[in-house]
Structure 1
Amino acid sequence: MQEDMLRTLEYRKMKSQLADHVACELGKDKVKDLVPHTEMTDVANALEETREGEQVLRFRGHAPLGGVHDVRAEIKRAQVGSVLDAQTFTDIGDTIRAGHQLTTFIEQLLEEEEVLSLSLLRTYVNNIWPLKELERTIRQTVGDDGYVLDHASSALRTARQQMRTFESSIRSKLEQILRSKDAETKLSDRVVTIRNERYVIPVKQAYRNAFGGIVHDQSSSGQTLFIEPQSVVTANNQLREARLKERQEIERILRELTEKVAAEDEALLENMEILAQLDFIFAKARYAQKMKGVQPKLNDRQYVHFPQARHPLLNAEDVVPIDITIGGDYQSLVITGPNTGGKTVALKTTGLFTLMAQSGLFLPASEKAEATVFKNVYADIGDEQSIEQSLSTFSSHMTNIVSILQEVDEQSLVLFDELGAGTDPAEGAALAVSILDEVHERGARTVATTHYTELKGYAYNRRGVMNASVEFDVDSLSPTYRLLTGVPGRSNAFAISRRLGLSETIIEAAENELSTDTKQAEQMITSLEERYQQAEEAEKEAVETRQQAEKLHRELRQAFTDLQNQKQAIYEEAEQKAATEVDKARNEAEEIVADLRRLQQEGHEVKEHELIEARKGLEEAAPQLTKKQKQVKRKAQRAQSYAPGEEVFVPRFNQKGQVIEESGKGEYNVQVGIMKMNLKSEDMEKTEQPKAEKPQRTLTRVSGNQAGVKPELDLRGERYENAMARVEKYLDEAVLAGYARVHIIHGKGTGALRKGVKELLKKHPSVKGTRDGGMNEGGIGNTVVDLK
């Protein structure tokens, strides 16, 4: 991409806005070096980086990039043996820590938000070198303020302890002098100060020999001398020696630390390159959020579609969105209209959006934005004269156009502003047509603005060329800045003159001077504008009507769903209440039956069939759903999934069954009585029974199961009292079902349950006889019962 073109399309100004969102100097360098990519894969990758960065900001609001410093120059100095200062090591340690923090941040975000797709960011942070040992060494040696710590070495600690001791001794002796009786007479001020790294006191000129020692300085007037008294000369010498040892030890420590940094130079430089890229990515994401940008869809058809495009350098509150499309039904767009109407802005928006998309930036447009990748973008915009070459406006434009025509091809986007301007209108218009034809034939995508009337009809005579115009409000005498595609611009000179009060006679005379063709063209354009506005208003009304219809449809659908749910809830509540009442009555009746059976055992006359019939009548007293209620309930239960071993009810046969396995496509293999059959999920209903723990044993039956009672009762795992109650109830149900023989499975265990079952069966009036199960019947863990 040519630098002049980037400047013309205000690419630099856009990058200046982007640079405001970086966190460190490393990111600023990335923005400074940013240029549009010309390969599809590079553009797609850059846009994906921005998308991932925007996702992170959307979920977390920030990215931890604090503490990153640009220490590349210092690392290169370490490579050549220069000793780094302590503050540089603090910056290096902060940068290493920033890499840790960002890595942890991305990893935790991916763990917490599984819906996120951050493959590129994950790759970047995974490539950051930990360098934990180097960071630990730096933290143990240099403080956050860039001061070498006492415990960096034992020699340094000793030197600083000596320094503190000597300083304390010196200050103590000097303060004694300051507190002496004649201090006020001999001293200019009662303070201890430092000259040439030695502690001194201010002595009046007249008493220079009162304290002996060394004169290190004097005041500007010469009346005060800064003297090191003889009593502290030795201590000051010792302090100076201790400071020299400190400096030598610090230099040794920093040199050693520099060598460790130099040993990790490649890892450090690679980390800073990754952190710079990550800072750049999050800057692009923050920039996208600020301008409410969207990720454009990429295509390889040289198709550009920027709906509701807003130039990023214009005030967001004042800018008028425009729709720009090139490369679909037409490859060239000719925009006409008055000055200051927005033609050049439309041209620059097209070019800048293309450059932004190819730079991996989101676009301030609507969600359906599409962009393509051009190898070159050419722009001839502006009317500045080339003073250095003494060229006129026309010559300057033509020089630029000539250079463009030497390179343009089918992978180019060409932008012409006021094509053919600056010369005779007839010749300029003819040149403009020829230039457009040439660029069009080479297959380039073109947007051109013009004033020439001849170019208004150009699109009607050329295939693949479309007219457009910027709208002008004659009533307010101001442009609306809206771009109208498919409608050429018309001259507003007469209308504006009439609004400003020019004599109607003059206007009519001017109109008579126009050729018939020009008048017809203006009338046609006026008609097109009116129809465009009518079509736009009709489309707006249609969109509003459709939105209202969709809203009403959603509300009705939700209301219907709520009604169905409410109806189902009422049915279920009623069924639950009825079931509760029946359970209560059943419990009371069971107690009565138990009392009657006890009376029977005590010798009172109570007929067995009367007890059985009473219990059967109680079971039949349970409330039954109406046909409609059953249908509602079945619909709610249908299309469910079933597990092998689960008990189901098959309404078609009025029988219960057991799921054997799923046979695919919503069908199941089900055991119903002695038959196995394939049933669809909607042909079955779930029962209240839990899933069987294992396939049931196939037993010989004497008569059919008329009440859904199984020919066996499994008591394993039951408590003794519950087991006895279940056996007694089961025997009654088995008699009603017509079974001649049933099996009571109690297991072997401790034998307590088996013994209890045996004793109950001996006393039960419906039992004809019992025996232990055979070899194939579970042995003594199963009691076979013959019923009367």
Structure 2
Amino acid sequence: MNKKTLKTLEYDKIIAMLVTHASSPMGKDLCQKLVPSDDISEIRRLQQETHDALSRLFRKGSPSFGNAKDIRPSLSRLTIGSSLNITELLAICDLLENAGRVKSYGRHENADTGDDVLDPLFCALEPLKPLSTRIRSCILSEDEIADDASSRLKQIRRQMRQAGEKIHTQLSSLLTGSLRTYLQDAVITMRNGRYCVPVKSEYRAQVPGMVHDQSSTGSTFFIEPMSIVKLNNDIRELETQEKAEIEVILAGLSQETSEHIDTIRYNLENLVELDFIFARAKLAMDMNANEPMFNTEGRIRIRKGRHPLIDKKKVVPIDVVLGDEFDLLIITGPNTGGKTVSLKTVGLLTLMGQSGLHIPALDRCELAVFREVYADIGDEQSIEQSLSTFSSHMTNVVNFIDQANSDSLVLFDELGAGTDPTEGAALAISILSYLHAQGIRTMATTHYSELKVYALSTPRVENASCEFDVDTLRPTYRLLIGIPGKSNAFAISSKLGLPNFIIDEAKKQISKEAESFEDVISSLEESRKTIEKERADLDAYKDQIKDLKAKLAKKQDQMDQRKDKMVKEAAAEAEKILRDAKEYADKTMRDFQKFGRDHIDVREMERQRQALREKMKEAEAKKSDFQKKPKSQKKLKPEDLHLGDAVHVFSLNLNGTVSSHPDNKGFLFVQMGIMRSKVHISDLQRIDETEIQTPSMQKTGSGKIRISKSASISPEIKLLGKTVDEAIAELDKYLDDAYLSHLKTVRVVHGKGTGALRKGIHNYLRRQRHVADFHLAEYGEGDAGVTIVNFK
């Protein structure tokens, strides 16, 4: 890809953003060297890596690669047998420990997550735990070797401590004894690595020993007493032995490390590669970007694409298509309307996609693989080269015509500008016609009306415009494909206060054909606004219907709850009646037995018996109140009922329509409004109605049943590319139709993407009473891009 285009489309700023997301120096270097590829296999591999890393970021957060320092010079020294210093060994140790942490991060938490393309990189990491533990136990810091690094070192340091203790003991006795009156201060100090005492200059001769230093005023001499010279010499000798032993320890560690040079090098390369991949994923997360699809047919489909260098809160997403129904797109409209931003967005997203970066747009966008992208954007006037704006643009055009082919994307900003309008328009049409004839995908912005007519009259050439609100005199930055832009010069001038007589005179200066053409554009613009308003009204109606359906479902839930409550209360009351009757009967039997023993007269027994009879009648009456059910005029048989027959359900006191044949036990389904219940045939009575209609079937005047389209509804609905709100509205109606058509299972195809659409659909399904359960499809049946829904 030519460097001039990369600079023109500000690709370097994207790379600068990418570099900030890498944590290791070598990872940042890889990011800095990233350039677009024209190999579709390589592009898809890079995109898949970015996608899988982004999925891991959402699931597990970000791993750290900060310790992946460049240790290649150290490995080269090990190769030739050199020993490493403390800093180099610690850097290798840090690398191995970081490899262990990253390898642990790369393990899948459960089997449901599945493998991805990053698994080989994570699996290739070998932390070499014994080696890193050995280095860490020997080297405590860049300035300290552990005593236990070797038995020899431990012995030397013990002897050094013992010698130091002897020196302190002897010097302490001198400070409190014979030398006390000769000393400037009663302290022990170090000079040139040897223990000394500060002696007043006038007593220099009274203290035998070696002078190592003198104060700046000359009043103090730092003298090493003769009695401790030997001990100081012993410490210096031990220090030399310590240094030699440390060199032996470092040489041993270097030898152990040299046995794993290849493994350490692979660890470094894998960590750097992973850092590079996760930097791309972090950039995608920051931009709320998605993975695009790629083709080699020159087809571009960008859905709600955003320029990545414009504030996310201010940028207006655009929809762009190119290379399918048309190969040349001509964008017109006023200045500051977003034409140039549209060009740069298409070019920059193409470069990002071919570099393995996700693009800030909706999922399932499609990009073509281009070998070269040529962009002539902005004012490239050059005083040094004596080039005017027109000349500089023409220089670029000449280069494009010489080099571009069918595998190129060409972007022109204000083609033909900077010269006579008539000649500029003619030249622009000629250039675009040549590129169009070569099958080169081209986008161009212009002010010339002649190019609008050219786009209308030429096959596979399309107009587009950037919307402008004349009322507010502000652009909306929306790209409208299929509608040529209107200059709005007269309308804008009028809004700004230019007198009408001047505007009327100006209108006389333009030809009737041009005026008529502008009127057609205005008419198209008004029609578009009307259609958009009607669409907005339709969306509002859909929202109202959705609210009404929700309220109806809530009311149905309340009715079901009341029904359940009434049934429970009736059962409890019936149980109480039977319990009271049983207790009264038991009491009566006890009384009869008592009467038999006590020889009570017959009249008393008859009175008790009559009271029992009255009590039983009362209980029977109460029980019948809860079980009372009107008897049908005629006991129905299975052959008496047909699909679509109107019936009355006694237990629910509702009218409905037969929607299934009775089973061998006499149970069948009856549709009562939005409620579908399973009842027994004995609970039904046929009723007469002139016309019965349900969502799934209709009864004609002749009494024959006519099945509507919902009975033959597809077992699958595709919601790819829709927003959550759009998908839920469509899915709601589809599930109603499918449920009323007696489908047991349906497939909802929503795609993978970022998972937002899948999550929204699952949240909606959890609230549906007629959905028994749902789950993601199995591998090979759609995987995470399809949800299987089972009805009750």
Q: 1:163 aligns with which of 156, 160, 165?
A: 160
1:241 corresponds to which of 237, 240, 245 = 237
Match of 2:128 among 126, 131, 142: 131
CA displacement 1:550-569 (0-9 Å, x = unmatched): 44435534654675576467
Question: Would the alpha carbon gap of residues 342 and 254 (structure 1) be closer, same or farther in structure 2, given more than 3 Å must change?
Answer: same
Separation in 2, partners of 1:73, 1:555: 72
1:266 aligns with 2:270: no
1:120 correspondence with 2:134: no
Q: Which residue is equivalent to 2:308?
A: 312
**Contact 2:301–2:366, Cα closer than 8 Å, also in 1:** yes
After superposition, the C-alpha distances for 1:384-417 in whole angstroms (9 at most, x for unaligned) are: 2355644333333233222222332222222112
* Residues 253-262 or 500-509, more deviating: 500-509
Unaligned runs of 5+ residues in structure 1 are 594-620, 633-637, 640-648, 654-681, 685-788
| Aligned residues of 2:108 and 2:114 also touching (Cα < 8 A) | no
Alignment-derived partner of residue 406 in structure 2: 410
Rounded Cα–Cα distance in structure 2 between residues aligned with 1:89 and 1:392: 61
> Which region of structure 1 is more displaced relative to structure 2, 59-68 or 359-368?
59-68
- Contact 1:336–1:489 (Cα < 8 Å) also in 2: yes
> Following the alignment from structure 1 to structure 2, what is the Cα–Cα distance between the partners of residues 39 and 560?
59
Q: CA deviation at 1:154?
A: 0.7
Offset of 1:131 from its aligned partner?
1.6
2:145 aligned residue: 148
**Which consecutive unaligned segments of at least 5 residues does structure 2 have?**
590-622, 631-648, 654-658, 668-677, 681-792
Shift of the alpha carbon at 1:338? 3.1
CA distance in 1, matches of 2:86, 2:381: 55
* Aligned residue in 2 for 1:472: 468
Provide the secondary structure at the position in 1 that maps to 2:315: coil
Deviations 1:357-393 (A, max 9, x none): 2223222223453333323222222222355644333
Q: Is the 8 A contact 2:179 2:207 kept in 1?
A: no
State the alpha-carbon separation in 2 of the partners of residues 191 and 274 from structure 1.
Answer: 57
SS at match of 1:109: coil
In structure 2, relative to structure 1, the CA distance for the partners of 1:436 and 1:186 (3 Å cut) is: same
Q: Helix, strand or coil for the counterpart of 1:120?
A: coil
Shift of 1:172: 4.1
Q: Tell me which amino acid in the other structure corresponds to 1:651.
A: K
What residue is the counterpart of 1:96 in the other structure? 96
- Tell me how far apart the structure 1 counterparts of residues 558 and 279 of structure 2 sit (CA, whole Å): 47
Q: Mapping of 1:152-191 within 5 angstroms? A: 152-176=149-173, 186-187=183-184, 191=187
Q: Aligned to 2:330, what secondary structure does the other structure show?
A: strand
CA distance in structure 1 between the partners assigned to 2:237 and 2:160 by the alignment: 9
2:406 partner letter: E
| Partner Cα distance (1:274, 1:583) in 2 | 79
Conservation of the 8 A alpha-carbon contact between 2:287 and 2:308: yes
Q: CA deviation at 1:350?
A: 1.0
Indicate the SS of the match to 2:525: helix
The amino acid across from 2:361 in the alignment is: A
| Paired residues of 2:23 and 2:64 also in contact (CA < 8 A) | no
* 1:87–1:526 distance in 2 versus 1, CA, 3 Å: same
Cα separation, 2, equivalents of 1:444 and 1:398: 18
| Structure-2 change in CA distance of 1:422 and 1:573 (3 Å) | same
Q: Distance in 1 between matches of 2:533 and 2:165?
A: 90
One-letter amino acid matched to 1:126: C
Do structure 1's residue 57 and structure 2's residue 71 form an aligned pair?
A: no
Q: CA deviation at 1:460?
A: 0.7
Counterpart among 441, 445, 450 of residue 449 in structure 1 = 445
The residue type equivalent to 1:469 in the other structure is S
Which secondary structure state, in structure 1, belongs to the residue aligned with residue 274 of structure 2?
helix
CA offset at residue 504 of structure 1? Answer: 4.2
Return the match for 2:298 from 302, 306, 313.
Answer: 302
Letter in 2 for 1:228: E
1:284-683 residue pairs with structure 2 within 5 A?
Answer: 284-386=280-382, 389-557=385-553, 559-560=555-556, 563-564=559-560, 567=563, 571=567, 651=665
What secondary structure sits across from 1:318 in the alignment? coil
Residues 143, 498 of structure 1: alpha-carbon distance in 2 compared, 3 angstrom cutoff: same
Is the Cα contact below 8 Å between 2:414 and 2:446 reproduced in 1? yes
Give the aligned length.
627
Distance in 2 between residues matched to 1:254 and 1:584, nearest whole Å: 97
Shift in Å, 1:234: 1.9
Matches of 2:46 and 2:570, distance apart in 1: 62
Which moves more between the two structures, 447-456 or 490-499?
490-499
Give 1:119 deviation, angstroms.
Answer: 1.7
Q: Answer yes or no: is the 8 Å Cα contact 2:300–2:322 preserved in 1.
A: yes
**Cross-structure match for 1:645:** none
Structure 1: how far apart are the matches of 2:337 and 2:100?
A: 53
Using the alignment, how far apart are the partners of 1:258 and 1:520 within structure 2?
86
User: Is this contact kept in 2: 1:571–1:629, CA < 8 A?
Assistant: no
User: Counterpart of 1:55 in 2: which secondary structure?
Assistant: helix
Deviation at 1:180, TM superposition (A): 6.1
2:183/2:197 contact within 8 Å kept: no
Distance (whole Å) between structure 2 residues aligned to residue 358 and residue 566 of structure 1: 62
Q: Deviations over 1:482-525 (max 9, x none)?
A: 32322323324444444444454444443332233332333333
Q: CA deviation at 1:334?
A: 1.5
Distance 1:471 1:624, change over 3 A: closer
Amino acid at match of 2:146: L
Counterpart amino acid of 1:124? L
**1: distance between equivalents of 2:28 and 2:350?**
22
Kindly report the root-mean-square deviation, in angstroms, between the aligned alpha carbons of the 2 structures.
4.3
SS at match of 1:466: strand
Deviation, structure 1 residue 13? 0.8
Paired residues of 2:413 and 2:444 also in contact (CA < 8 A): yes
Aligned residue in 2 for 1:35: 35
Q: Cα deviations across residues 72-110 of structure 1 (Å, max 9, x unaligned)?
A: 332233223332222332332232222222322332523
* TM-aligned CA deviation for residue 151 of structure 1: 0.9
Letter in 2 for 1:16: A
Verify: 1:86 aligned to 2:82, yes or no.
Answer: no
SS at match of 1:105: helix
| Bigger shift: residues 355-364 or 458-467 | 355-364
How far off its partner does 1:437 sit? 1.7
Q: Distance in 2 between matches of 1:577 and 1:98?
A: 72
- Measured against aligned partners, the alpha-carbon deviations of 1:342-366 in whole angstroms (never above 9, x if no partner) come to 2222111111112222223222223
Q: Distance between the aligned counterparts of 2:506 and 2:651, measured in 1?
A: 87
Take 1:37 and 1:444, find their aligned partners in 2: how far apart are those partners? 19
CA distance in 1, matches of 2:124, 2:575: 66
SS state of the match for residue 418, structure 2? coil
Could you tell me how far apart the structure 2 residues matched to 1:213 and 1:318 are? 82
Shift of 1:270: 1.3
Which shifted more, 552-561 or 409-418?
552-561
- CA drift of 1:534 comes to 2.6
> Relative to 1, partners in 2 of residues 1:480 and 1:43: Cα closer, same or farther, differing over 3 Å?
same
When residues 516 and 217 of structure 1 are mapped into structure 2, their CA distance, relative to the original with a 3 A threshold, is farther
Tell me the distance in 2 between the aligned counterparts of 1:43 and 1:12: 19
Residue 742 of structure 2 corresponds to which residue in structure 1?
A: none
Amino acid at match of 2:665: P
CA distance in 2, matches of 1:198, 1:322: 78
Q: CA shift at 1:193, angstroms?
A: 4.1
Task: Give, in whole Å, the separation in 1 of the partners of 2:580 and 2:292.
Answer: 68
Change (3 A) 1:373 1:195: farther
Residue in 1 that maps onto 2:16: 16
Which amino acid is 1:407 matched to?
Answer: Q
| C-alpha contact 2:182 2:199 (8 A) present in aligned 1 | no
Change (3 A) 1:491 1:246: same
Distance 1:248 1:652, change over 3 A: same
Aligned partners of 1:327, 1:82: CA distance in 2, in Å?
61
CA distance, structure 1, for counterparts of residue 40 and residue 650 of structure 2: 62
Which region of structure 1 is more displaced relative to structure 2, 172-181 or 32-41?
A: 172-181
